[in-house]
Structure 1
């Protein structure tokens, strides 16, 4: 079994912790840029390729700005995520609004920014027309759910028929017919069927299905598909024994399907897109926490100053995140621990029965692959406060890119006229 190593040293983390106490999330600028460039290189054969970074994964404006510098756009699900994209200088067709159960104001905000709008259901055709006063954009994207036996190696979304996302193929054809009648001239196709798929054939299989539908829309309706968005879903190697997905092989597989299906149909100018969040950012981030208690009952427990409020995936999904005891990377794993947080929930455990080098109060732990769906999924249960986010710059320096919450932040929403708790929202001192 190979060992996963942090992208940062113990000395670096101790230096950072002297200024910004644990717990905190830390991200590697070097890894973020490397992964963005690897993805673009894998699809460089398609001149129109765009990575619409899934903002939901890591909605920090500094990180979104770094990705924008690398040519990435933004995949947004809400008006707030649209605002993040705009604040980072991302505009127009570099933004994709891929949402479901969408309020009218989100459609209007997307139009103001010139974003591509991706419709999740057939009823949203009329919703979009109402929201925009009948003035539809020249291109609309359609999210498709093929149902049937299209499966991927993931345990988060599951079978297509059990997913709330997308419309049936028949509904997509009807949506294109209606939209064409409303003046929409061009279309995009999109599907979101997997999360953390480990197999390299997921994108190629998905692309073949969407390419076939693009040909069908053209032949049956005369509807021209200009964009095929493969969405997200490509996974990462959370466990040491996992084999990393070869993104170059994925790109080559999609190219094979493109040349077999689209090119012969005269659709060789279709642009491709991805909306990777986890693959882009998970390995580029970690949660840093310190051991504050040791407890031995029926198990050996390491109590840390982080909790599920900082990284909820283990508590909610039973997800595996590798843990390194900083400074003991080369030592054998001789003790079996449960690594736990302080929430009043037994599910608040980062690891159960995990073999680690012997650890003690004061040790720093690095929880791997927390750069996506980590800080972004934080919450305030038990009055916990969300932690800081740091960026490890390419020159080795640290930058605070989101401060830790304070008790004043917790009470801030009570600061309104007539509230007897307004004083609690004021800064301490």
Structure 2
């Protein structure tokens, strides 16, 4: 397993993260356990800010909280000076409860409810990313009822398909997200926005996909959006102050993944925007981006305890752990791949090929297929790397399994960020209606 951030193998032969021995963490907090390397998160945030500063552009980096959203994470993002994008009332509520400045919050989503929009208006968030005509009209009406003006970006689909899984490609024409540029829908949305009394159009937004390893898609999106900005300036006399090119920057889950340095992505985007808009004397807008996975993903490690081992000679050896698709849905959802090691025997050589199975009552609950580890024994601690994005965020109670605890580690200290669920937590909203009878 590749060791990210502050992770290392200590003198006891144990995995260590943020100066904390992983084996000791499991003794203190139990398993499964999400462990976040806080120093790595902060360094990732700073790398985006520093890369943008080198470009000379005005900018805003907003952490995409759908990747991993807790009050502690919101606090770290706030302290690093980033903005925050949310996609639900729950994420917005979490951020506000953590004390995140509402003026640095952007609200995404293709079907925001009336209650969610009203909540966001009440706390005076910085910007709505409007996804469709229904939302545009609804937001204008609700803002009017409150006597305020809502800042918006219009999400447009530039027709760029990034090299990613079909389920996480969002910039192509056939998608539930945004106003299509190719059909004229996006132009109509801009024109209509400018006529609404309680809407202030800041500019445009696009997002072309996730887990992207080159700059081609970003440059293509920047080119198409720049041409569109010029078109609406010339036809509607409107000049945008913001151009948001979304996120999707890839991370290393396994050896074959080769993401670019943060600087390469940012400089490519900045160069394309400067050149294309500069050639047409267009005032350079503030450029926004929304990294999520690339900030949280590599910082997360999930620790499990090994239970049963089933050996089928000449076929497969199954090693089962005390978690699975309830704490990491990605392998079952879109065949995501991971690396792992035995945290309590991290310095031992590989000895066998095994398949890591979860404990859920599903044949498809497999975390890692055909992976080489030292000879695994019940009671070993398995560490799966790069689970920081969309692990906790997608965690569920299938089979009524409690969700794991979350701890942040830094400089040898561990702090609980989310308590482990209990069985009592799982049934706390269950009710036995009074009219039910037993037979």
Settle same-fold status: TM greater than 0.5.
yes
- 1:201 offset after TM fit, Å? 2.9
For 1:245, which of 256, 260, 264 is the aligned residue?
Answer: 260
1:385 and 2:402 are equivalent in the alignment:
yes
For 1:401, which of 401, 404, 417 is the aligned residue?
Answer: 417
Match of 1:61 in 2: 71
TM-score (norm 1): 0.91
- 1:331 offset after TM fit, Å? 3.9
Assess if the C-alpha contact under 8 Å between 2:318 and 2:356 holds in 1: yes
Match of 1:48 in 2: 58
1:209-224 pair list within 5 angstroms: 209-224=224-239
- 1:124 offset after TM fit, Å? 2.2
For 2:380, which of 351, 355, 363 is the aligned residue?
Answer: 363
Post-superposition CA distance 1:65-115 (Å, at most 9, x none):
111111111101111111122122223431101111111222222222222
State the SS of the aligned residue for 2:115: helix
For 1:278, which of 274, 293, 301 is the aligned residue?
Answer: 293
- 1:356 offset after TM fit, Å? 2.1
- 1:268 offset after TM fit, Å? 3.3
Match of 2:84 in 1: 74
Assess if the C-alpha contact under 8 Å between 1:166 and 1:192 holds in 2: no
Residues 374 and 185 of structure 1: is their aligned pair in 2 closer, same or farther, counting only changes over 3 Å?
Answer: closer
Assess if the C-alpha contact under 8 Å between 1:25 and 1:388 holds in 2: yes
Greater alpha carbon shift after TM alignment, 111-120 vs 330-339: 330-339
CA–CA distance in structure 2, aligned partners of residues 347 and 308 of structure 1: 9
Assess if the C-alpha contact under 8 Å between 2:408 and 2:415 holds in 1: yes
Post-superposition CA distance 1:42-61 (Å, at most 9, x none):
11135531121111111111
CA–CA distance in structure 2, aligned partners of residues 335 and 75 of structure 1: 43
Post-superposition CA distance 1:368-404 (Å, at most 9, x none):
11001001100111111100001012x2111111110
List alignment gaps of at least 5 residues for structure 2.
Answer: none
State the SS of the aligned residue for 1:366: strand
CA–CA distance in structure 1, aligned partners of residues 432 and 81 of structure 2: 42
For 2:158, which of 134, 146, 149 is the aligned residue?
Answer: 146
Match of 1:126 in 2: 137
Match of 1:175 in 2: 189
CA–CA distance in structure 2, aligned partners of residues 265 and 185 of structure 1: 24
Residues 327 and 132 of structure 1: is their aligned pair in 2 closer, same or farther, counting only changes over 3 Å?
Answer: same
Residues 212 and 89 of structure 1: is their aligned pair in 2 closer, same or farther, counting only changes over 3 Å?
Answer: farther
Post-superposition CA distance 1:336-388 (Å, at most 9, x none):
11101111101111111222222211111111110010011001111111000
Post-superposition CA distance 1:26-47 (Å, at most 9, x none):
0001100110000111111355
1:27-426 pair list within 5 angstroms: 27-44=36-53, 45-115=55-125, 116-133=127-144, 135=147, 137=149, 139-147=151-159, 150-155=160-165, 156-158=167-169, 160-169=172-181, 170-183=184-197, 184-297=199-312, 298-393=315-410, 395-414=411-430
CA–CA distance in structure 1, aligned partners of residues 111 and 59 of structure 2: 28
For 1:18, which of 12, 22, 27 is the aligned residue?
Answer: 27
CA–CA distance in structure 2, aligned partners of residues 90 and 48 of structure 1: 22
- 1:317 offset after TM fit, Å? 0.9
Assess if the C-alpha contact under 8 Å between 1:200 and 1:246 holds in 2: no
Post-superposition CA distance 1:106-146 (Å, at most 9, x none):
22222222220111112322122233336562632100113
List alignment gaps of at least 5 residues for structure 1.
Answer: 421-429
TM-score (norm 2): 0.89
Post-superposition CA distance 1:296-340 (Å, at most 9, x none):
124211111111101110111110011112244444433111101
Assess if the C-alpha contact under 8 Å between 1:185 and 1:223 holds in 2: no
Residues 332 and 19 of structure 1: is their aligned pair in 2 closer, same or farther, counting only changes over 3 Å?
Answer: closer
Assess if the C-alpha contact under 8 Å between 2:139 and 2:150 holds in 1: no
Greater alpha carbon shift after TM alignment, 203-212 vs 98-107: 203-212
Greater alpha carbon shift after TM alignment, 310-319 vs 267-276: 267-276
Match of 2:3 in 1: 5
CA–CA distance in structure 1, aligned partners of residues 100 and 296 of structure 2: 19
Corresponding pairs, count: 415
CA–CA distance in structure 1, aligned partners of residues 151 and 277 of structure 2: 19
Assess if the C-alpha contact under 8 Å between 1:157 and 1:163 holds in 2: no
Residues 388 and 192 of structure 1: is their aligned pair in 2 closer, same or farther, counting only changes over 3 Å?
Answer: same
